[in-house]
Amino acid sequence: MHIRGITKADFDEIVSVMDQWWGGPSGLRPEPYFFYEFGHHALVAEEEGALAGFLLGFVSDREPRTAYVHLVGISPNHRRRGIARGLYEEFARRGSALGATTLKAITTVGNEGSVEFHRAMRFEVEHSPDYAGPSRARYVFTRALSD
Ligand SMILES: CC(C)(COP(=O)(O)OP(=O)(O)OC[C@H]1O[C@@H](n2cnc3c(N)ncnc32)[C@H](O)[C@@H]1OP(=O)(O)O)[C@@H](O)C(=O)NCCC(=O)NCCS
């Protein structure tokens, strides 16, 4: 596995594989600003030259400075091989270098695979009923970056 920064060609590929990798339309989108404005923090993993996974995130400028994962996806053919773990570790390393002290991600209720992945990554898991607005619940995952 090789992890590197995202290119426009990667972003275009992510947009086209997204629904297939999620097994149907996802509530979350790979919004273009994650390439154009935050692309410095976006990562892809490739195996034998093919896109195997991606992580779109950014480092916030409010306290506590947070390395925030907006969207992470691994190709169904490449799951359970440590690729998401590798992307998180690289994103955490880059976030720490920029002064972030917290790692954070959110997931929609019902995405149990994501919840189990974040538990395995030693995140604290909180169910927040109105996180995304009235009755728009999310699981919120946080972890100190010094851990
Ligand atoms: C969730 C997701 C990102 C995990 O990616 P992955 O590369 O398969 O994860 P890893 O191989 O790094 O998993 C590390 C550990 O997390 C846990 N884990 C990962 N996926 C899991 C699942 N579906 N169920 C239970 N535990 C899981 C395991 O403990 C795993 O270690 P192990 O394989 O040695 O048992 C991937 O399944 C995916 O892309 N899902 C669809 C998109 C999505 O839901 N994204 C997250 C919300 S934005």
How confident is the model at residue 25, as a pLDDT? Answer: 84
pLDDT digits (tens, 9 = 90+) for 66-97: 999 999 999 999 999 999 999 999 999 999 99
- 65 touches ligand 1 (CB under 6 Å): no
Please give the domain boundaries of the chain with CATH numbers for all domains: 2-144 (3.40.630.30)
pTM assigned to the model: 0.96
Burial-class residue 131 by CB neighbours within 10 Å (0-12, 13-18, 19+).
middle
Residue 85 to residues 31, 37, 130, 145: CA-CA distances in angstroms? Answer: 23, 24, 28, 14
Which of 47, 80, 121 has most ligand 1 atoms within 8 Å of its beta carbon, as the pocket-test mutant? 80
Radius of gyration (C-alpha) of the chain in whole angstroms: 15
| Cα 121 to ligand 1 centroid, rounded to whole Å | 10
Position 8, amino acid:
K
